[in-house]
Copies of this chain bind each other. A is one copy, B any other.
Amino acid sequence: MQDSQTSETTQKAIEETIVSGILSARIRPGTRLSENQLATLFGVSRTRVREAMMRLETRGIVHVSPRRGWFVVEPSAEEAIAVYEARRVIEAGLLRSMRVLTGAGREALDAHLNEEKSAMTAGDRQRLTYLMGDFHIRIAELSGNAIIVDILRDLTARTILISMLYQSEFHAAQSHDGHCRIFQAMQASDFGRAAELAVEHLDEVEMGLDLTARPDPLSELRSSLSLPPRSVSSTIGPKKP
């Protein structure tokens, strides 16, 4: 990254720092993001930090609790399900829409799968988390469609937050196998099959979650008092904490 431009770059830098921190599992869900601290850290005023937070909120990455602070989102079980559902829809649709796997695309995915493998043997879990998410972004990049890439990057970030909350064990080998199978189908130009495999793969990962586990520990009490469930908030809709 270049540091020459001061203006315009900083807000995006804050955004990307946080997103990439999540993508590589260095930032946990629920992490507090203090406007003042970030401002000091990046050497800017709160104004710019707030702008970055607003953008990240729109992207479903952080949320604000009024006058309490900004926090990295902790997706509820319902939200987690919605994220996986959205990914299945989009990734399956994407693969099914593909017609060819170019040579460059084949090489990119092949190189990526090799990286996954070496990270597995090295036991580098943080890097592995990053790579496991990045595989799906790489596939999106093959389409050359920046819109879809952006959407899937944000959904992947949310997925990683979900994993940190609900995933007890990390079945890296299983995920890697899933990726390899998808790649094989793509190499065979059987994109319908690749789409099916992607859905299965995401199902597998979702099934590996314990969605009764962490957040909303009040759910039992809540239901026994027959209060409304935690809102499956839209990325836009008003939050009521």
Chain A positions within 8 Å of B, measured between CB atoms, are 7-9, 12, 15, 50-51, 54-55, 57-60, 66, 82-83, 85-86, 88-94, 96-97, 143, 145-151, 155, 232-238
Task: List the 8 shortest-distance A-B pairs measured between CB atoms, nearest first.
Answer: A93-B93, A146-B234, A89-B93, A58-B58, A86-B147, A55-B58, A54-B54, A92-B93
Chain B residues in 8 Å Cβ range of A150: 234-236
Contact A83:B147 (CB < 8 A) given known A55-B55, A89-B90: yes
What is the count of identical protomers in the complex? 2
Decide if the interface of chain A is mainly helix, strand, loop or mixed: helix
A90 in complex: contacting residue of B51, B54, B82, B90, CB < 8 Å: B90
The interface residues of chain B lying within 8 Å CB-to-CB of A51 are 50-51, 54
Residues on B with C-beta less than 8 A from A9 are 238
Give the residues in chain B near A15, CB-CB below 8 Å.
Answer: 236
Residues on B with beta carbons closer than 8 Å to the beta carbon of A146: 82, 232-235, 237
